[in-house]
Chain A
């Protein structure tokens, strides 16, 4: 289970629905209302909402066991109010101040059955002057025990936990056929599990705080079983224990969890304070210890577990460093040996039973003595446990012998009970559970509130209120008297509080109801009595009654329940696979879904996947149907559980329901479904996730398979390529190689030629490889271009050697330009021929270079070398750019007719341009010239054009 909270872990209990109830519980009457009216108000609230229902005897939605109460007939209050003609609908109504006088019961014929509290204190036994102890039956046990308890190894978990029995514990001489049987029962005796014990001989049994059964074997191996007898795990208590065998073992609970303490055959102690986080501690040797101690126990002080042991008349305290002798203060003389010792539930107190029948009680630190008692029984007791509660008035221990039970404390007389049967004591936080073959009882000190109310002749406010309510039900005016009495003392709030509190400590629903009814009755006469405590108690009791039910069998008291917290209780229900009940409780208490219902559903699903007889499909569907997309349910957790049970296919099916890919992928990887994980990751669009899978795959698969996987996943492939580009260039090359992607391979080598190689030879070599790749890719163009580049590189290198200057990495164009600029016309020509530079480019190139050199003579020669493939307009333009109008004009005359106007305009000869334009009869040209006509100088030209235009239009 995911949750393994200790009972003492502080879970904040939510206060469900308090606010909603608030308004409802506000006094239904106005301030002036008087007693007679009150009951109806109460009735109104009773019949009202669900949240304040009285704690019903049965669990919500479950059948009632025989341990529980019975369905209540409509109580008198209901009957009365319903019969009241004045308020048939039970709504609140304002009452006149003098209404008391008119308080008449119309349904007077129906008297309420008196609660059975006349002899309520019959089972109260006083211990000394101040405390009472009572013992009542929780269940009559359902188990059909063949053996006596004394023939079994018994372990019962605290907090109303389960009981484990090992029949016929390991006796080697027995034949294999009579193997011991390990049985687990609920506290009410309902069998939970039964299994044949096939492992080694067992020494001790015990329950951990998580309600796991720890079975300590003789060889020091501890086997851990679940509540249903499912084997969980095992661990060993170390070599030393294995060699010397376990003599005795104890399971104990600390705030860190559950521990195991072991006494070995060599009379040494080994303990682990937390079995969840196993750290073995071997305790120091006790000097001069020859035989097993007469008794020993674990004590927890300052958050460290110690061992207290008695050897003859001496007591020793073992901590992890040393062994020290201790002497209890005020110990009566004449003790020659200690027969039994008991530490209280909270490790605060210690009781020692000596061979003189004397009991010493004091603090566990052995610094203070509380009291002593002499019971004059020298027989060693079977069990001795503390029976006290938090803030107890009296500290008492319960000592059990074969047929006798004695409660002793700081009083001259103890309380004695006769035990009809073999019984077993289970210490609890606030009392002692005693179970035998036929019954299960609870013995505890009567809580303060109950004592106040029920003590004979008690005049406590709660007692009076209860009385008043009873009288009220009897329709007697005494009710009013009692109430007045309380109110005159101003103790009504305490009275209500007392009743509420006392109700919490009652086991029987009838009694709870009486007290709550009294509280509710009293509450009506109070303004602004905060309703939460009442509401909460109602809710708590409803929950408690439900789980105390015979079928459930968790007899928690109110204090235990509060200590345990609802969260842990829910965990325990889940552990018992009581999912519907747990969910009902959550819904009833309106716990937030994530803490409550979803968590339980998740647990249910985890249990469901373990049902091996159901097919994967059915399980997956069932789970999905129940869970839907309840918030807070993690399908991946459930899937992980399914995988843990070896149901990989089911796990994969469950993962389909998981909406978060981030949760799917890790589990898929764990299940070695890497390819599925990869596609899931890709689907998620989360590149980080893809990367995680990729790296996993890279390590898992061999390179070829890895590449093949990538090949089918383009997205992953490009991602990995990106990574390789920066981090693993060689891998990138392999990737391309594997794909026969010669194009990219070529590009790769070209890139390498720039990045990696400094020397010209290296670069050429890289380029050669690239060219080869391009050929393979059937990319002739790129191959040729690369070859050209190689040639160019070599050439540039030569040029640098011969001419100096910088040529490397210039483009072809720039190389030629540079040559011309440095006067190497021959070489330039040669280069142009070698690389087949097209004429047009060459002309542009030469033109620009020569103009840059301002070598007008050479330019003119060049222009006349043959007919210009780019026309002569560029010549004009370039000359004008260099502001050489004179040269420009030379070329302007040679410009072809289409561009003549432009050229003339460029050199600024507007007039001639106009003539040409007119001659061409070209409208566009004419407007162009016109737009160049500026100022007075061109006035005549402009006119000329306008005229020509007009003429053209006429035609």
Chain B
């Protein structure tokens, strides 16, 4: 394709080990409850579980029936019930109701709760409060990292963003630390570590502590991953708010990629059923177009179709022997490719249809205007019209947030009117949505003057880190400034366009947004890795409001050897978009590094309760 793989690109570690590990552990846990049992699985865990262990494996280990944990009573006749759930209070109540109902009916069964990825004390407490703590046995399935692709790991924790960035609940940080620890035990210690953001810092500290406690285990192992980069999602909301235009991102926006696979509906498959398709590097067609700007995809696909046709056409003029060869060796591959091709063409059509209907061009234009910071008034009007016409509640919110962040908050008049319009269009319950968005700093009102921030930075200089955190917390609810414009200038996020931006042969990461914007997150990563520290980025870090929270952790003696280790692990705390993954892949190809990026629970727009 457009980027020839550099021959010296480092080889990726074998992430499938994680899968095997998780499977073995699950089997072990299931065997802990010998005999036939019914398994209750939380809906959230179904897709990840599917990637780890299919039904036949479960059946092998005497799982009789499978139920979904949902808010209605389940009628299971088995004597042993096993629950595979996330550590949520809601689930505990569900289990408690079930057990208590059995108790009322005088029925005794064996119950086992398997928490994934870990057990929380609060859950045990609820079990205790509900009076069933003694009736159930608890276990942990420490399955925290699911390899979605050869270069992509995911924690599959969609609630991470909400819990941490909105509610300030830090319970998942431990999980992150443990996941990092697991990676370092499997793939050798990480010589270099960078990060930005409060959550990144805490995860890093906790992880370090874990490493220290289990001293010596990873020592002496040759590191496979040279650099680790931890990034809080709230460092860069902008990128997540922009419409995606690379193919994989669009597929996600349109069909929702869940756990590395997607359900293509009838309109794509051109048959009457929908089809679940695994999207990863094994899908050859997809692999070539996933990181492409959408405008190239059609061209590529039609070229591909022509090639395919040509391959088929070779049949003509073959003698018997060649034909035999062709059928036995190539035909299957071609057929497969054919099938995938038609699927992706179908998907493309479907995306086109949806996007043109919504005046996608206008939308993109507005976004770009917002990113560059011109014709704000028109953009605001556009957003208002967007709301009035009830085009899409999510898109409208997205635009509003983008406007707010790029402009350091909405001016009070607009803030009120947009909100009023929104409430009228989509219902008054969104009042809560706005309050949440405001808390997360996504949609705010312009502060009357800059006094607040000035005070804040002064105060945080005076007091210690911990106290500063408190103060920042307090202030951030009042005014979370994003300084996007200044950062954008500093980091040169808006590429200067001279002439048409060639999307076919991109020059920089901006191609993932049609050449209009370089994803902030990826730019930071690029800059830091180039310097191997935060040196020289002080101003940016200050503007990001993270001056105390950017860190570099380098084992000095390893520095020389780590030069040769170009494998980079980027951890997005709070999720990442496919655009960012594409941009990082681009970066990796350009620099000959491989950015493998575990997104920690992909975040989409936070929604109302």
A659-B209, A659-B212, A811-B426 known; A687 vs B171 contact (CB < 8 Å): yes
Per the bound structure, the CA–CA distance linking A931 and B169 in Å amounts to 54
**By the criterion CB–CB under 8 Å, are B609 and A686 in contact?**
no
B267 an interface residue at 8 Å Cβ cutoff?
no
Question: A-facing mask of B158-202, CB < 8 A → 1, else 0?
Answer: 000001000111110110010000000000000000000000001
Interface residues of B in 407-466 (CB under 8 A from A): 416, 419-421, 423-429, 431-432, 435, 466
**By the criterion CB–CB under 8 Å, are A687 and B421 in contact?**
no
Chain B neighbourhood of A718, CB < 8 A:
167-169
Chain B neighbourhood of A721, CB < 8 A:
167
Chain B neighbourhood of A782, CB < 8 A:
431, 435
**By the criterion CB–CB under 8 Å, are A722 and B125 in contact?**
no
**By the criterion CB–CB under 8 Å, are A844 and B470 in contact?**
no
Per the bound structure, the CA–CA distance linking A841 and B389 in Å amounts to 7
Per the bound structure, the CA–CA distance linking A721 and B466 in Å amounts to 21
B424 interface neighbour in A714, A750, A835, Cβ under 8 Å: A835
Q: Which residue of B lies closest to A718 (CB)?
A: B168
**By the criterion CB–CB under 8 Å, are A631 and B215 in contact?**
yes
Chain A, interface size category, equals 35 or more
**By the criterion CB–CB under 8 Å, are B170 and A813 in contact?**
no
B283 an interface residue at 8 Å Cβ cutoff?
no
**By the criterion CB–CB under 8 Å, are B89 and A685 in contact?**
no
Chain A neighbourhood of B169, CB < 8 A:
687, 718-719, 722
B142 an interface residue at 8 Å Cβ cutoff?
no
Chain B neighbourhood of A692, CB < 8 A:
121
**By the criterion CB–CB under 8 Å, are B129 and A811 in contact?**
no
B122 an interface residue at 8 Å Cβ cutoff?
yes
A722 interface neighbour in B93, B163, B420, B424, Cβ under 8 Å: B163
Chain A neighbourhood of B390, CB < 8 A:
813
Minimum CB–CB distance for A811 against chain B, Å: 4
**By the criterion CB–CB under 8 Å, are B473 and A714 in contact?**
yes
Per the bound structure, the CA–CA distance linking A810 and B390 in Å amounts to 13
**By the criterion CB–CB under 8 Å, are B120 and A691 in contact?**
yes
Question: B-facing mask of A85-125, CB < 8 A → 1, else 0?
Answer: 00000000000000000000000000000000000000000
Chain B neighbourhood of A785, CB < 8 A:
419-420, 423, 428, 431
A659-B212, A751-B609 known; A687 vs B424 contact (CB < 8 Å): no
Chain A-chain B contacts (Cβ-Cβ < 8 Å), number: 125
Chain B neighbourhood of A683, CB < 8 A:
466
A731 an interface residue at 8 Å Cβ cutoff?
no
B126 an interface residue at 8 Å Cβ cutoff?
yes
**By the criterion CB–CB under 8 Å, are A715 and B168 in contact?**
yes
Per the bound structure, the CA–CA distance linking A466 and B254 in Å amounts to 94
B385 an interface residue at 8 Å Cβ cutoff?
yes
**By the criterion CB–CB under 8 Å, are B206 and A685 in contact?**
yes
Minimum CB–CB distance for A581 against chain B, Å: 29
**By the criterion CB–CB under 8 Å, are A811 and B423 in contact?**
yes
Question: A-facing mask of B133-165, CB < 8 A → 1, else 0?
Answer: 000000000000000000000000000000100
Q: Which residue of A lies closest to B216 (CB)?
A: A631
Q: Which residue of B lies closest to A631 (CB)?
A: B215
Per the bound structure, the CA–CA distance linking A840 and B473 in Å amounts to 40
Per the bound structure, the CA–CA distance linking A714 and B467 in Å amounts to 11
Tell me which of A56-64, A331-339, A521-529, A786-794 binds B: A786-794
A723 an interface residue at 8 Å Cβ cutoff?
yes
B213 an interface residue at 8 Å Cβ cutoff?
yes
Per the bound structure, the CA–CA distance linking A419 and B385 in Å amounts to 117
**By the criterion CB–CB under 8 Å, are B424 and A691 in contact?**
no
Chain A neighbourhood of B62, CB < 8 A:
none
Per the bound structure, the CA–CA distance linking A909 and B265 in Å amounts to 36
**By the criterion CB–CB under 8 Å, are A659 and B213 in contact?**
yes
**By the criterion CB–CB under 8 Å, are A714 and B470 in contact?**
yes
Q: Is the interface of B mostly helix, strand, loop or mixed?
A: helix
Question: B-facing mask of A770-790, CB < 8 A → 1, else 0?
Answer: 000000000001100110110
Minimum CB–CB distance for B218 against chain A, Å: 16
Per the bound structure, the CA–CA distance linking A814 and B425 in Å amounts to 7
**By the criterion CB–CB under 8 Å, are B125 and A695 in contact?**
yes
Per the bound structure, the CA–CA distance linking A684 and B168 in Å amounts to 16
**By the criterion CB–CB under 8 Å, are B432 and A750 in contact?**
yes
Chain A neighbourhood of B426, CB < 8 A:
811, 813
Per the bound structure, the CA–CA distance linking A723 and B121 in Å amounts to 11
**By the criterion CB–CB under 8 Å, are B432 and A837 in contact?**
no
Interface residues of A in 786-822 (CB under 8 A from B): 786, 788-789, 792, 809-814
**By the criterion CB–CB under 8 Å, are B432 and A691 in contact?**
no
**By the criterion CB–CB under 8 Å, are B202 and A751 in contact?**
no
A660 an interface residue at 8 Å Cβ cutoff?
yes
Per the bound structure, the CA–CA distance linking A875 and B278 in Å amounts to 43
Minimum CB–CB distance for A744 against chain B, Å: 8
Per the bound structure, the CA–CA distance linking A695 and B419 in Å amounts to 40
Q: Which residue of A lies closest to B381 (CB)?
A: A840
A660 interface neighbour in B122, B171, B213, Cβ under 8 Å: B213
**By the criterion CB–CB under 8 Å, are B427 and A723 in contact?**
no
Chain B neighbourhood of A845, CB < 8 A:
388
A631-B215, A750-B432, A811-B426 known; A687 vs B174 contact (CB < 8 Å): yes
Minimum CB–CB distance for A257 against chain B, Å: 32
Per the bound structure, the CA–CA distance linking A785 and B428 in Å amounts to 7
Per the bound structure, the CA–CA distance linking A688 and B390 in Å amounts to 44
Interface centre among B126, B173, B206, B432 (most CB of A within 10 A): B432
B14 an interface residue at 8 Å Cβ cutoff?
no
Question: A-facing mask of B209-243, CB < 8 A → 1, else 0?
Answer: 10011010000000000000000000000000000
Question: B-facing mask of A707-740, CB < 8 A → 1, else 0?
Answer: 0000000110011011100110000000000000
A754 an interface residue at 8 Å Cβ cutoff?
yes
B205 an interface residue at 8 Å Cβ cutoff?
yes
Per the bound structure, the CA–CA distance linking A683 and B420 in Å amounts to 42
Q: Which residue of B lies closest to A753 (CB)?
A: B429
A743 an interface residue at 8 Å Cβ cutoff?
yes
**By the criterion CB–CB under 8 Å, are B170 and A685 in contact?**
yes
A747 an interface residue at 8 Å Cβ cutoff?
yes
Interface residues of B in 97-148 (CB under 8 A from A): 120-122, 125-126, 129
Per the bound structure, the CA–CA distance linking A837 and B417 in Å amounts to 11
Q: Which residue of A lies closest to B166 (CB)?
A: A718
B90 an interface residue at 8 Å Cβ cutoff?
yes
Q: Which residue of A lies closest to B206 (CB)?
A: A685
Interface residues of A in 692-709 (CB under 8 A from B): 692, 695
Minimum CB–CB distance for A931 against chain B, Å: 13
Minimum CB–CB distance for B406 against chain A, Å: 22
Chain A neighbourhood of B470, CB < 8 A:
714
Minimum CB–CB distance for A817 against chain B, Å: 9
**By the criterion CB–CB under 8 Å, are A792 and B428 in contact?**
yes
**By the criterion CB–CB under 8 Å, are A685 and B121 in contact?**
no
**By the criterion CB–CB under 8 Å, are A781 and B419 in contact?**
yes
Question: A-facing mask of B358-392, CB < 8 A → 1, else 0?
Answer: 00000000000000000000000000110011100
Interface residues of A in 823-844 (CB under 8 A from B): 835, 837-838, 840-841, 844
A659-B213, A719-B169, A743-B435 known; A754 vs B429 contact (CB < 8 Å): yes
Per the bound structure, the CA–CA distance linking A792 and B424 in Å amounts to 10
Minimum CB–CB distance for A898 against chain B, Å: 13
Minimum CB–CB distance for B586 against chain A, Å: 31
Per the bound structure, the CA–CA distance linking A845 and B389 in Å amounts to 7
Per the bound structure, the CA–CA distance linking A212 and B273 in Å amounts to 81
**By the criterion CB–CB under 8 Å, are B425 and A813 in contact?**
yes
Minimum CB–CB distance for A21 against chain B, Å: 26
Question: A-facing mask of B586-609, CB < 8 A → 1, else 0?
Answer: 000000000000000000000001
**By the criterion CB–CB under 8 Å, are B388 and A840 in contact?**
yes
Q: Would you give 16 A-B contacts (Cβ < 8 Å), ordered by A?
A: A631-B215, A684-B209, A687-B174, A714-B168, A721-B167, A727-B89, A727-B129, A747-B431, A747-B432, A750-B431, A781-B420, A785-B431, A792-B428, A813-B425, A838-B421, A841-B388
Hey, which bits of chain A sit against chain B, CB under 8 A? 631, 659-660, 683-689, 691-692, 695, 714-715, 718-719, 721-723, 726-727, 743, 747, 750-751, 754, 781-782, 785-786, 788-789, 792, 809-814, 835, 837-838, 840-841, 844-845, 848, 870
Known: A811-B424, A813-B426. 7 other contacts (CB 8 A): A687-B120, A687-B174, A691-B125, A726-B90, A726-B93, A835-B424, A845-B388
